[in-house]
Structure 1
Amino acid sequence: MRYQDQLFQQRESAILDAALQLFSEQPWDRVTIAQVAIAAGIGKGTVYKHFPSKEALYTQLAARLAQDHLAALHATKAAQPAGQALRPVTRLAFEHMLNTPLLAQLSHHCDRPEFQERLEPAFREQFQQIEGAYTLFFQDLLRDSLSHLNLNDDECMQLLWGVEACFNGVMARIAAGGFSHWAEPVALHDYFDCVTDFIIAGLCGQANALRATAASHE
């Protein structure tokens, strides 16, 4: 790699590190590019050479957090016996989002249609690649967990729609600060257990229904 390319990558990493630190200290949507530049020890114009907009910075930071999240999920799946990874992976996904609330907040923000419309094409493609990586991971997880049903791609995607709805609900709950403001607060770990049970029961029931429907048409 050329020295200039190394410097470029180092500056980009420093910008993301600075943004992550600032976002942990104050509401992330109030942090300005100027503040990020000062924290990174570079000029504001240099930040824009790496990230042409605030939306691009959000997307790149979400990508970094998502890559760490996916790596943890892959490691957990690999450590489980065949067919037994669904529960530990789901629980880890929830705990990771709880421990990294910025991931939940940025993911929700970046997924909005109006945000995607403002995003530069290269960064929009990057966000779509992240979504694709999650989809592939959970498709493999479903096939492994429900291998006896021999699910096809269309059936996996239909099941993933329900999983996505549940995960989006959990992300929204984490982003909202949990249940501490409720009259009768709910412990998030208990909530995660209940949602995990719901996801697994729903997947098993719906997968069996899909297979039964397919068999009746054969």
Structure 2
Amino acid sequence: MRYQDQLFQQRETALLEAARQLFQSQSWDRVTIAEVARHTGIGKGTVYKHFPSKEALFARLVLDRSRMHLIELQTLSHSAPAPEAMRRMIRRAFEQLLADPLQAQLCLHCDRPAFQERLEPPYREQFLELEAEYMALFSELLQNSFAGLQLSNEHCQHLLWGVEACINGVMTRIASGGFEHWADPIAFDAYFERVTDFIIAGLHGQAAALLAAAATNE
């Protein structure tokens, strides 16, 4: 790699790390590109050579960490028979978010329609590609877990809507700080176990219901 390319990459890494540190101590609306530049010791104009907007910088933080998480889940998907691998992946997805609450907050923010509307098209396309990769991973596991039911891609998509709703709920709970303010606090480990049980039971019940409905309509 050329020295100029190495320097460019180093600056970009420094900007992302500075933004992450600032977002951990301040709200999204209060952090500015100028502040990220000052924190990094890089000119504001140079920041725009790397990221065309604050939304783009925000998106890169989410995309980079999400891709790292996806690689780990893809590896985990081959660690056991499909039904057990599905359980392990769901639990690990929760643990990934708990280990990095900022990622949970960033993901929720990036999922807002208003944010996506402001985001430059290349970054929106990357979010769509990442979503497709996650969907493909879980769809493959679903089809392997319920091989006897012969689920179609459409069936898998319908089932994954419920999984997504549960994962988003867990993400929101983590982003909000957990259960410490509850009269009877719940340990996250127990919470993850119960939610995982709920998702697995729901997948079994809904998969059977989808196929029964399809058979009735034939």
Do the two structures share a fold, i.e. TM-score over 0.5?
A: yes
SS at match of 2:77: helix
Between the aligned partners of 1:117 and 1:183, the Cα distance in structure 2 is 40
Aligned-pair distance for 1:2? 5.3
Residues 82, 167 of structure 1: alpha-carbon distance in 2 compared, 3 angstrom cutoff: closer
Question: SS state of the match for residue 79, structure 1?
Answer: coil
Task: Answer yes or no: is 1:204 the counterpart of 2:218.
Answer: no
TM-score (norm. length: structure 1): 0.92
**Counterpart-to-counterpart distance in 2, 1:98 and 1:127:** 21
The answer to whether the Cα contact below 8 Å between 1:62 and 1:103 also exists between their aligned partners in 2 is yes
Given that 2:139 and 2:156 are in contact with CA atoms closer than 8 Å, whether structure 1 keeps it comes out as: yes
SS at match of 1:183: coil
1:6, CA displacement in angstroms? 4.0
Deviation of residue 27 (structure 1)? 2.6
Q: Which amino acid aligns with 1:149?
A: L
SS in 1 for 2:42: coil
The answer to whether the 8 Å contact 1:83/1:147 transfers is no
**Range moving further from structure 2, 26-35 or 68-77:** 26-35
Q: Do the aligned residues in 2 keep the contact of 1:83 with 1:145 (CA within 8 Å)?
A: yes
In structure 1, what is the equivalent of residue 26 of structure 2? 27
2:82–2:141 CA contact under 8 A, matched in 1? no
Instruction: Pick which of 143-152 and 52-61 moved more.
Output: 143-152
* 2:168 corresponds to 1:153: no
CA distance, structure 2, for counterparts of residue 128 and residue 103 of structure 1: 18
Shift of 1:77: 1.3
Q: Does 1:100 align with 2:97?
A: no
Q: Is the deviation greater in 109-118 or in 11-20?
A: 11-20
Equivalent-residue separation in structure 1 for 2:125 and 2:4 (angstroms) = 25
Helix, strand or coil for the counterpart of 2:166?
helix
Matched, 1:18 2:14: no
CA contact (8 A) 1:179 1:186 kept: yes
Contact 1:159–1:206 under 8 Å retained in 2: yes
1:80-115: CA deviation from partner (whole Å, max 9, x where unpaired): 234421111111111111111111111110111111
Q: Give the aligned length.
A: 217
What CA deviation, in whole Å up to 9, does each residue of 1:52-102 have, x standing for no partner?
Answer: 111111101000110111112112112223442111111111111111111
The one-letter code sitting in structure 1 at the alignment partner of 2:151 is L
- Percent identity reads 59
> Pairwise CA RMSD of aligned residues?
1.7
- The CA deviation at 1:28 is 4.6
TM-score with structure 2 setting the length: 0.92
Query: Is the Cα contact below 8 Å between 1:77 and 1:85 reproduced in 2?
Result: yes
